[in-house]
Structure 1
C-alpha cells in the first residue's frame, strides 16, 4: 500500500531540472507553494533535506517557513496508507519514500532554512580560509562603527592634511557642523550606490576658468540682450542678463591657483540650468555669446556642489579606515554579511568555495526575491546559475515584483527584473493566479482597480498587473447581520459638498473622525464575526498613525500600534536615561530632580521644590542610593529588576495611562540595556552613554529590529500600522488613511537607475535627474499602495478627493486618479463591487472648516468658575493625618523644621572666601572644596581609614598621605561623589589633622590623639520610637507591650569610642566658619547642633540600657564635635573641637520637650 497525499496542480508547471521564476500576487499562497515544492523535491529527486536551501528576508518569515515545512512532512507521514488512489492529483509515496521522509524529519534540524543575511554569514564563518576572514567575529551597529572610523579619519586626515583642510573649512563656513558632515557621509555610505556626479577637480577648475574667460568678452551683456530679443526671448532677457552679471561677480579674480573649495562655497549653480533651459541650440548666436553658452554647457557637465565634492573626497577615506578597523578587530555589520560572501565568491579562492557550495546545495528557493539587490543576485548567480552541467544546481526565484517596496533599504527591483529576464529566456515565469485570502467580490474589485488593459492603468513601466486573479476560496463570504453580502470596496468622498480645495489638515481630521464613527457599526453587526483585531488602519507615516489613534481614543475604541519604529525617540527612553544618570550620580541635585519627575518616582512638579536638599534617610534619596550601590557592584540584573518591581512604574502605568504602550516601551528598553550590560566590563556610565547615543541617533542597536516598538497588548484591539509594516499581513477590514499630502524632504539626494540600469545616488542633481528620481519614487509608491489595498480580506475603505480639489498631492494621488476613473463609470462600479459614500464629518466646508475651527478656539473664553482655584488643602491635610503611616524622622529633618543651620548651598565645587580673624581664628584656604558632597567624602574616609596607619607613619603627615592604600581611599571617595582628584591632598590633610589633634574631654582628661582610643565603633546606626506620652522614657527600664503612634527617630553616630572607662560619642563636621575659637565653636554648637547631640545621647542611652542618673554618670562620657577645618595637631587642646556633656536632668527635660513639641513652637513648619 501507498500513501496518497493531495498535490497542488501548480507543481506540474514548475520544472525540477531548470531554473524557474515563480511570480505570486497578494494572497496567492506563495508560502503554501514553497512548502509543497520542498516536499516535491524531497520525493521526486530523493534529495536530502540538507541539500534544499530555502532563504527569505526576515527571521519571522524564516521561522514560519521552518514550522510549516516541518508540519507538512509530519502530515504526509501521518497519512494512513491506502490500497488505491482516491483520485485527483496526488503524491504516491511507497514505503521507501516514507522512510526517506522520516529520515528528513529526524534530521530536520539540519534543514538550511535561513534568512539571507544569516546564511551568508554562516558561509563566511564556515569557510573562513576561502573568505579571508577571522574565525571569531562580532556583530556591531553599522552607524557606531562608522562614527569611530569617521572620527579617526577626521583627526588624522581631514583636519591636518592640505588636501582636505580647505574643504573642511568651506564645509564649516557654509554653516554646517562636524556632526552634519558625519551624517551626510553615513547616509551616502548606507545607500550602497555609486555616487554621482564624479568630482574631477582639474576638469571643474578648467570649466570655471573657461566661463570666466567668456565673461571677459567686452559688451557680452549688451550683445546677449540684442540677440536674445531677436531670438524671441523677450520675457526672459532681463533675467538671463542678470545671471551673466551674477556669474561675473562669483568668478571675479579666479585663476588656476584659486582654491576650489572657496569657489564652490560662493558659487550658485542655479543660473546654469536657468540659462541653458531657455537658449535654443537652433537659434542664431554670435561667436562671443556662443562661447558663453558652450562654457555653461561644459560647466554643467563637470559641476559638483560643495556637498558632492566633500562627499566625493571624504567618503572614500572613511570607508578605507572603516574596512581596516573591521578587519583588524573582527567586526561586521548586517551589510557586511553580503559583501563578505561576495568578496569570497569573486576573489582568488572562489573556485574551492563555489565548488563546496554547489556540492552541498542542489536546490535553492529564494523567497521574496523581488527584494534582492545586485550583490545578492551576483552571489546566487555564481553559485547556481553558472554551474556546469546546467541541471546540477537549480535556482527558484519566488516573489511578487508588485510588492517591491523596500528601495529605501537597498532592495533593487531592477535587479529582480534583470534576473527574471536571464532565467526566463526560454520559458515564461510561472504565475500564481488564485487568491485564497479575499472574497470573490473583493478579488473582482482588485482586478478592476489594477487592470492593465486600459489607457491609464495604475501600474506603469516594466512591473505590471499582467494576470487577473481568480478566487481560490469561493466559499469565503462576508455577510452583514441580515445575511447579505457586503459591498467589498467603499469609496469615501471627502469634501463632496464643497467647491473648496481639501487641505491636508481637513482631510486627516475628517477621515479620522469618519473611521472612528464607522468601526462601531462594523463591530455591531455590520460584518458578522468581526473583532477589533480584524481591522487594520494603514498609514504612510507613523505620525499619521498617532493622528488617527487620537480619534479612536476619543471614541473609546481599543487600538494598538504594530511594530512602531522609534523606540528611542519616545519619552520613555528619556525617562530611563534621566533615572540612570541620577543613579550614577545620586548626589547631583539636578540629576536627582530630573529623575524624580519621571514616572519612576512621579513627584508632582509643584512638589519638586520641596525635594531639594533631602537627607539620605528620605525614601526618595534612599532608593537612589540603593540602586547606586547595585550599579557600583555591576549587578545590573538586580538593578533593573529593582527599578521595575520597586519603583511602582508598573502599577502607575497600568492604572493611569490610556494604553499599555508606555509600560511596554519601558520594559523593552530595559531589556535591551540589560543585554548590553550582560556583555561584561561595562559601568553604568557606559550604559548611560549608549542609551544617550541611541536617543541622539548616533548609534543604533545591533539587532535589526532593535528600535522597533513591540505590540503593547495581546488584547482585542484595532491595529494601526504603516503600509510598509503591513506587508505579509491580512485583515478582514482595511482603512487607508495616509499619503494624502506630499512628504516634506530635501531634494539633495536623487536615487534612480542610469541608462545602463545601474542604481546611482546623485547629490544635488539637475532637473533631469530629479525627474528620473521622482518617476522611480512614484513607481515604488504605486507598489506600496498595491500592498496596502490587498491586505483586505472582506472590505476595503478608500478615501477619495475630486482631482480639482486635491491640494498639495502626495503619493495617494496615484490611487486617487484611478478611483476618479472608476467613479466616472457607474455600471463598472456596480458590477465590480464599488460603492460611493460621503462619510460623516467629511462632506461640507472642506476648505473653510479649518479656519472656522481656529476662529472658534480664538473666540472661546473660559467661564469664571473654571478660573477659580479651589483650595482643598485643609481637607487633604485632615485625610493625610488620619491615614498617615509611621513617620521615620531624623536630625536633618527636625533641623529643617526648626529653621536650623544649613551648610552653604549651591555648586558643590564652589570655593568659599573665608575671612581672616584675630588670634584664635583660622583662615581657610581659598582652594578648599565645600558643600554636602565634600562632607560625604570626608565622612566616608573617616569611616574607612585605618588608625594604625597613622600611628606607624614615622614620617608624619607627608609619609602617611603618600601611602598607596591611603591615597586610593581618598581617590575613590572623591570619584564616587564626582569631585576632582585634585582635592585628595587637602582631604587627607584634614583627616590627618583631626586624628592627631589633642582633645580635652568633659571631665578634663586629655586625649593626645584619637588614634590612641581604647576601642571604637564607626557609623553606629540607631532607630528608636519617637518620644510620646504613651511610651516609656529613657528613665524607664521595663517596656510593656506598646503601640507606636508617632513613628521613629533614625540616624547614624559617626563614632563611639571608649577612653578612661567611659563611652564618648563623636561627630565629624566640615562646616566652613570664619572663626574656630573656643567661644565661637561653643556658640555655633549650641545654636545648630545641640538638638543633634541630645538625640544621639538618647540613642546611646537606649543602646546601652542606661536608665538612671548613676548609670549615666558612670558609663557616658563626652559629646565631641570635631570641626575638622579648625583642628591643629600642634595647637592647644580642643582647637576646632566643641566638647559638651548634658546632665541627666537636662536630657530628661529635652525628652519632655520632644514629647510636647514645645521645641518647634515659633519655628518654621
Structure 2
C-alpha cells in the first residue's frame, strides 16, 4: 500500500499493535511512528532501546569485541551497546525521563520481570540470558546517550571544534549575556567613529527617525550573532528565489481576485465608484509586478513600490473581504450574486499579502544592513575569540559540519541506533542534521533510524516547528526504503473524552499538506474500570435584569472573572470530597489573565503551582535579590540601594525616603565598604536623624505606627551591606554568596509568605546564577551587573524555578504549551474565547526566520523577501495551529474534561480564538434554549447525552470571597510566644550542629568492625584479617597485605579457565604485586608467601571446588555498593554507607543471589572460627540487606563468609 493511501486510511488497533511490534524488531529500515496523544510514545521509545540492547545490539557488539581480541565480558559488551545508541529528545526533562525509564525497564528484566505492554516474542528466547544481559546493561546505564538536539550537537562539535570553526573548549552562552556584553563594548567603542563618518551618520539618522537607538542596535547584533547569521549574507539579503516566490504569490493571489472583480472595471454609475478604481488599481498592480525581473538588483524594492502605489485598493479590500454587502449598488450589480459570494475568500488572501508588502520600508532596511554588517563582522571575531556560541550556532555549525562526507561517515560509524522524539516540533535545520546522520551514505553504513512524533500535536510554530519540513522528511523516509506507522490506542483518557475530541476536531482538522495534518481518531485503551468519563461545557454569560442570557452584554473581563471563580470553587469542593490537589489542572492559552485565576484560587484557599511561568524577572523576590547584588557589587547604584532598603531585608517605609535623601544617604552609602570604615557610622547616624524627623511627622502619616522598628531594619541592612562589600572584595565566590544568603534573610522572610516554597526556589536559582557568573573566569562583575539590570528593567522572559514537591500538593496552572506531555484527572480548558497573542509579526525586533522553503533576515521589524515569506508561512501555520492546540488541551484529561467556552454575540470579522476554531461544530448548539431549560429547572446544569452544559451565572451559591491576607496584627505576639519560639530555634540550632558533625559517608561494615574490636579486646586475641582494627606491627602489616593480594588475585581469575592453572599464574605474580604495594622488601616477601599459602589452600579445598562450580553463575566480583543510611541511624552518616562485595553469585540450585565475603583470618580452632563468624556477621548481613532492598525486591538474598585459611563456608542467619 502506498504511503499516500496509508495516510488516508484510518488507523486501527491492529495497526497500532503492528507499529509497536516493529518498534521492537525492525532495526535496519527507517521507521516513522506517528503517536497520537496518550498512546505511550515514550514507552515505545524505551522498549525499542531495551529490545535492541538485550537482543541484536548485544550480539553485534559481542561479535565486534570478539573480533578485536582480548577478554570479552558482559560489562564491556553492555557499555559498547549503550554508547552506540543515541536518543534525541525535545527537552532535558524528557531526556532524563527516558534514561530513567530505560534503566527501570532493564532493572525489571534483570529481576525476571516482564515489562508491561511489551509485545509478545520480541525478546530473545532464553529468559536467563536476557536477565544476565539486562543486569550488565543496567550497571552501565550512564553510557546511554540521551540528549536534547542542542546537547547532542554540543557534544559533536566539541569533538570537531576546529573543523566547525569554533574554539576548542568553547562555551555555550545560554542566556546570551556574554555575547550581549561584547556587543555593548563594541558599540561603545565604535560610536565615536560612527559619529565621525558622514555615511554612518546618515544611516543612524534613518534608524533614529524610526525610534531605533543604540541599545536596539546592540540587541540586533546579539540576535544575528546568536542565530549564526554571517555578516556577508546580511549585505545580499534578497536572494532571487525568495523575490521570485514573493512576486509569484502576489501575482497568483491577485489574479485569483481579478477573476472575480474584473467586471467592476466596466461598472458605470453616475460617477466613477471607488470599487471600479480599486479594480483598475489591481489590474495596474498585476501589470507592474509582471514586469519585475526577480534577478534585478532592485527587484524587491520595485515590488514594494508597486504595492505602495495603490491608494484605493487597500480600503476596498477590507470591504470585499468582510462585508461585500456594503459595496455600492452599482458595484454589486456589476458583479452579480455568484461573484459577490465568491469575493471574500480571494480578497482576504490578497489583502493579507498586500498589507504586509505595503508596510515595508526598504530604505530603513538598507540603512540597517549597511550599518550593522561591519559591526556584525567584528562582533563575530570577538565572540569567536571569547570561545562563545549560542544555541542556534550549535545547530547551524553541526549541519555544516555534517556536510563533510568524511566527518559524517565517522559520526555515523559511532552510532548503531538513532532515535528522535517529538520530531513534529523540529525545524528544517534539525531535520537536515538527522538526514545527514541517518539517511545519507551507503545503506550498510547508516544507523537504524526511529523517529516518533505526532503532527496533530505540533504547536511550536513560533519556535520554528515546521510542518512543511515534517512532511518533506516523512516523504524522504519512505523514499529511502522506510515506513510510516501509527499508534492510535490511547491509554490516558476515558472513551467519552476521546469521542468528544473527535466530534470537535474531526470536522475542522482537515489535511493541508505542509500546514495541517488530517485528524486521526483515538481508540480507548484503558481497562481500569468502566466509567466512560465526563465532558462539560461551561458558558460564562451574564444574565440581564430579567434573568435571560445576555451574551452581547457580557464583557470579556466579566466572563474571565466568573470562569476563574467557578473553577476555583469546583476544585475546592471536589478536593473536599477526596480528590487530591494534584489531580487538577487549569490550562490557559496564554498568561495574559493568569492573575485572575490565581487570585480566585487564593480566595478559595486552593494551593497552586504555576508551571513554565516565564515571569521570573517580574517576581518581587527576584527583583529584591537582584537589587541587593547590584547594591553590593556597584556602590554607586542608588536605585539598587533604594530597592534593597525597601525590600523585606530593610523594611524602609516610603515616608522615610525623603528624610534619608535629605541626609545625603546615597552618597554616604556609596562609600560604605573596606576602603572607608567611617562611612558606615555616618550612614547609621543619618538613619537616626531621619528617624527623628519621621517621628515628628508621625501623626500625619497613616500606618507609620505599625512600622516603628524600621530604623533597626535599615541600620541592619546597611551594616550587612558593609560586610558583604568586604566579602565581595576578599572572599571566594562561594563564601560571598553564602554570606549574601545568610545576612540578607531574604530566604526565610520570603519563605514564610504565601507560596513560600516557590519564592525560595526562585531565590535559590538567582543565587546559583550569581555564583556561576562570579565563578566563571570568562565573565566579570560588570557582565553580571549588566545582565541583572537588563533582565529586571526589560522584564525579560525567563522560566520560574519550581520546588520539586510542588506538583504533589498543588493544582497545576499552566499554558497549553506547558501541559504538553502531561495528564490530569480533571482538566479545565479556560479562555477558549480568547484570541491568540501575536507572535512572529512585525514587532520591531531582529531575527533570522527559517522555514522549509525559505529563510531570511528581519532587521528592526523590516524583513527581506525570504523573511517576509517565512512570516507569511508562520501566520498561516498559526491559524492552523489553533485546532492542534485544542487537540493537545483536550487530550490531557483522564477522567473529566471541562471546556470553558463563552461565545459572544455579534462576533464579526476574523476570529482567532480557540473557540473560533471549533465554531462550525458549536454553532449548532442551542445554547440559549439550554440556558432557559436550566433556569426553568432552578439549576445551572443541563445534561445532553454524553456531555453537560453549565451556566455559572445561574448558580444559586455564589463563590465565596475571602478577604485578602494582611500583615497587620491587632497586637504584638505575647512575650511567652517569643520565648517559646527562641527555645525552638535554639533546639534547632543544636540539632543542626549535631547534624553538621556527622560524616557524609561511612562503611557498611562499621558495626562489624566495632563488634570484632570488642571481642578481640575481651579475649585478648590477635586479629590479622580485619583492616584498621589494631595498630599495625609487622605481623599485622603482613596480614593486611596478604589479604589485599588474595582479594586481587581472586578478582582477576578468569571464570572459564581451570582453577589450578589460573591460580598458578596468579601465584607467580604475587612477588611483583606485593612490591607494587610499596612495602619494605621483607614485609612484601612475607606477604607474598602468606598469600600464596592461602591461595594454595583455597585451590585444594572445598571452597575452590565450590568456586569452580558457581563460576558460570557469578554476577560480579568486588562489586561496589552504595546505599542511603537507615532512617533510624541518627548518629551515623548523613549521605550514604558504602562497601564492596567480594563475590556475588546466583545459587545454581535455588537461583538465590548470594553475597560472599572472603576472610583470611588464621584461627586456632572451630570455636575461634565461630566467634569470628559472629563478629563478621553484621558486615556481610548489611551487604545482604542492602542488596535485597535495592537490587532484588521480593527476592531472596543470602549471605556467606568464606574463611580461606580454614577452607570453611559459614552462612549468616537473619
Change (3 A) 1:787 1:832: farther
Retained in 2: the 8 A contact 1:530–1:732?
no
Counting only pairs closer than 5 Å after superposition, residues 176-255 of structure 1 correspond to structure 2 as: 176-183=212-219, 234-236=272-274
> Is residue 2:925 matched to residue 1:823?
yes
Q: Distance in 1 between matches of 2:154 and 2:570?
A: 49
Q: Which residue of 2 is the match for residue 106 of structure 1?
A: 139
Q: Which residue of 2 is the match for residue 433 of structure 1?
A: 488
Change (3 A) 1:699 1:159: farther
Retained in 2: the 8 A contact 1:562–1:710?
no
Runs of at least 5 residues in structure 1 that lack an aligned partner in the other structure: 1-6, 205-225, 248-259, 285-295, 479-484, 846-869, 884-1165
> Is residue 2:850 matched to residue 1:757?
no
Q: Which residue of 2 is the match for residue 998 of structure 1?
A: none
Q: Distance in 2 between matches of 1:714 and 1:822?
A: 39
Change (3 A) 1:760 1:439: farther
> Is residue 2:523 matched to residue 1:470?
yes
| Counterpart secondary structure, 1:272 | coil
Q: Which residue of 1 is the match for residue 84 of structure 2?
A: 51
Q: Distance in 1 between matches of 2:533 and 2:437?
A: 51
Q: Distance in 2 between matches of 1:742 and 1:843?
A: 31
Change (3 A) 1:237 1:791: closer
Q: Which residue of 2 is the match for residue 374 of structure 1?
A: 428
> Is residue 2:885 matched to residue 1:836?
no
- Worse overlay, 145-154 or 42-51: 145-154
> Is residue 2:914 matched to residue 1:801?
no
Q: Which residue of 1 is the match for residue 842 of structure 2?
A: 748
| Counterpart secondary structure, 1:445 | helix
Retained in 1: the 8 A contact 2:425–2:458?
yes
Q: Distance in 1 between matches of 2:617 and 2:830?
A: 25
TM-score (norm 1): 0.58
Retained in 2: the 8 A contact 1:438–1:792?
yes
C-alpha deviation, 1:635, in angstroms:
4.1
* Residue from 587, 591, 594 that aligns with 1:542: 591
Counting only pairs closer than 5 Å after superposition, residues 497-896 of structure 1 correspond to structure 2 as: 497-525=549-577, 529-584=578-633, 592-608=641-657, 615=682, 618-657=715-754, 659-680=756-777, 687-697=784-794, 713=806, 716-738=809-831, 740-743=833-836, 745=838, 747-748=841-842, 757-758=853-854, 773-802=874-903, 804-806=905-907, 809-821=911-923, 823=925, 833-840=946-953
Q: Which residue of 2 is the match for residue 420 of structure 1?
A: 474
Q: Which residue of 2 is the match for residue 1157 of structure 1?
A: none
Q: Which residue of 1 is the match for residue 463 of structure 2?
A: 409
Cα distance per residue 1:1006-1056 (max 9 Å; x no partner): xxxxxxxxxxxxxxxxxxxxxxxxxxxxxxxxxxxxxxxxxxxxxxxxxxx
Q: Which residue of 1 is the match for residue 209 of structure 2?
A: 173
Retained in 1: the 8 A contact 2:183–2:218?
no
Q: Distance in 1 between matches of 2:141 and 2:870?
A: 51
Change (3 A) 1:835 1:360: same
| Counterpart secondary structure, 2:563 | helix
Q: Which residue of 1 is the match for residue 541 of structure 2?
A: 494
Retained in 2: the 8 A contact 1:492–1:797?
no
* Residue from 132, 137, 140 that aligns with 2:170: 137
Q: Distance in 2 between matches of 1:189 and 1:841?
A: 57
Retained in 1: the 8 A contact 2:498–2:522?
yes
- Worse overlay, 516-525 or 763-772: 763-772
Q: Which residue of 2 is the match for residue 891 of structure 1?
A: none
Q: Distance in 2 between matches of 1:719 and 1:377?
A: 33
Q: Distance in 2 between matches of 1:671 and 1:460?
A: 47
Retained in 1: the 8 A contact 2:762–2:801?
no
Retained in 2: the 8 A contact 1:732–1:792?
yes
Cα distance per residue 1:1-56 (max 9 Å; x no partner): xxxxxx97644344322111010111100000001111222213534222221111
Cα distance per residue 1:1079-1132 (max 9 Å; x no partner): xxxxxxxxxxxxxxxxxxxxxxxxxxxxxxxxxxxxxxxxxxxxxxxxxxxxxx
Retained in 2: the 8 A contact 1:228–1:237?
no
Retained in 1: the 8 A contact 2:842–2:862?
yes
Retained in 2: the 8 A contact 1:441–1:832?
no
| Counterpart secondary structure, 2:152 | helix
> Is residue 2:129 matched to residue 1:93?
no
Retained in 2: the 8 A contact 1:450–1:465?
no
C-alpha deviation, 1:323, in angstroms:
3.1
Change (3 A) 1:176 1:411: same
- Worse overlay, 435-444 or 318-327: 318-327
C-alpha deviation, 1:670, in angstroms:
1.8
C-alpha deviation, 1:787, in angstroms:
1.6
C-alpha deviation, 1:200, in angstroms:
9.8
Report the structure, 1 or 2, having the larger helix content: 2
Q: Distance in 2 between matches of 1:150 and 1:688?
A: 13
| Counterpart secondary structure, 1:542 | coil
Q: Distance in 2 between matches of 1:734 and 1:436?
A: 16
Retained in 1: the 8 A contact 2:589–2:836?
no
Q: Distance in 2 between matches of 1:804 and 1:628?
A: 62
Q: Which residue of 1 is the match for residue 1206 of structure 2?
A: none
Counting only pairs closer than 5 Å after superposition, residues 1100-1119 of structure 1 correspond to structure 2 as: none
TM-score (norm 2): 0.56
| Counterpart secondary structure, 2:817 | coil
Q: Distance in 1 between matches of 2:945 and 2:451?
A: 33
Q: Which residue of 1 is the match for residue 31 of structure 2?
A: 20
- Worse overlay, 25-34 or 674-683: 674-683
Change (3 A) 1:584 1:31: closer
| Counterpart secondary structure, 2:310 | helix
Retained in 2: the 8 A contact 1:536–1:719?
yes
Runs of at least 5 residues in structure 2 that lack an aligned partner in the other structure: 1-15, 61-80, 244-263, 286-297, 321-330, 335-352, 544-548, 666-680, 685-714, 931-941, 959-967, 980-1214
Q: Distance in 2 between matches of 1:86 and 1:711?
A: 34
Retained in 2: the 8 A contact 1:458–1:814?
no
Retained in 2: the 8 A contact 1:565–1:708?
no
Retained in 2: the 8 A contact 1:196–1:760?
no
Q: Distance in 2 between matches of 1:813 and 1:414?
A: 25
Retained in 2: the 8 A contact 1:146–1:322?
no
Cα distance per residue 1:385-415 (max 9 Å; x no partner): 1221257422111111112222222332322
